[in-house]
Structure 1
Amino acid sequence: MVLVLLALVGTLVCPPVHERTTPPDPAARNELADPEPAPVDFPLPAGERRVPLPTGGGQELRIEVRDRDAGLPLADAEVLLLHEDHHGTLLRSPVPLAPDGTARLESLPSGAYQVLARRRGFFPPPPATVQLPASEPVALLFELEPAALISGELRTVDGSPVASGLVRLSRPDRPQVFHLCPVDPRGDRFESPPLDAGVWTVEFLESPAEQPGPGMVAEVAVVPRQELRLRITVRRPGMEPAADRAPGIEVLD
Structure 2
Amino acid sequence: MVNRQPKAGKQKMITGEIPTAGELTGIELRMLPPFIKENGTTPVFPFPGNAKLYCLVMVVSDANNQLIGGIDLQGFPRIGDKEHLPINKTLFYWEPSTDNKTAPRQIHMACSIIKCKQSLRDVAKILTSVKSDEDYKGVVKTLEKLAKNASGATLFLDALSQLGSLVGKYLKDVEDKPLGAIVQSYTALRGDFDNKGVQRRQYMTPRVMFDFELVVRDKTATPVKSIRGGKKSQALVHEEVIVDLQPFKS
> TM-score, normalised on structure 1?
0.23
Q: Counting helix residues as a fraction of each chain, which structure ranks higher? A: 2
Q: Tell me: higher relative CO, structure 1 or 2? Use CA pairs within 8 A at least 6 residues apart.
A: 2
